[in-house]
Amino acid sequence: MIINIDHIGLSSNDLSKDGTHLTALGYEKVFEEIGLENMDIKRPYLQEFTPTHNIVLYRKNDTFDIELLQHGELGNGVGFIFPFNQKNENELNENTQLDTFIIHTNDVEKSTKFFQTLGFKPNGEIEGLPRLTFTALIEKNAYHILLKKTQTTTKYYMDTPGFNSIALVSTNAEKEQRKLQKKGYNTGEIGQITVNNRLLNVFFVTGPSNELIEIISYA
């Protein structure tokens, strides 16, 4: 069972510069891991696998946590997740509505079903875009995504520039993996990693428009 959203991943080639930008928007650094060993299960989800990587988690109340990811050099392309603000700038700035992100998809209906499988529920529209909302089981925080139809068949990676993944917290990674596989979604193998002194079980699943989702449970 998915019980929370852990973070949205943002690729970075300058953790200090990007961290300063997030701090200016009201985010606070929660922890950082430098030289963290990379899980072998991530190979299919990186354009260039590196033995180690760096991560820094930032948090702001009532918004998505953002995890800065540094996997060597940034790869090609651009992520499928974009900030939402009333000026439609697709930029992370003072106008951004930080509890809402836009998801690019080439099939809104299929992506809706995919995110519903992950615990999101339809919640009207914003500026003509279907809105799906996830409400955390314990904290009751509400997180919103807007689905925007685009003509793309791009495959996304953890080192794709920009926002490139969403991490969700499950009560049991193995059960979650089996559930997603039964529904026909492509999942990777389960690996283990210790982050911020907690041992995690982790796997990845890709959606119908190649949306890259990380599923985490506490070991």
- Map residue 43 onto helix, strand or coil: helix
Residue 86: what pLDDT?
67
Kindly state the tokens that stand for 170. Answer: 């499950």
Q: Quick one: pLDDT at residue 201?
A: 98
Q: What is the per-residue pLDDT for 219?
A: 87
Distance separating alpha carbons of residues 102 and 144, to the nearest angstrom: 9
Q: State the residue range of the domain holding 206.
A: 2-218
Low-confidence ranges of the chain (pLDDT < 50): none
Task: Look at residue 35 in the predicted model and tell me its pLDDT.
Answer: 97
Work out how many domains the chain is built from and give that number. 1
Q: What is the CATH number of the domain that holds 136?
A: 3.10.180.10
pTM above 0.85, yes or no: yes
List pLDDT tens digits, range 110-165. Answer: 999 999 999 999 999 998 999 999 999 878 889 999 999 998 778 899 999 899 99
CB-side exposure of 155: number of CA atoms within 13 Å?
8
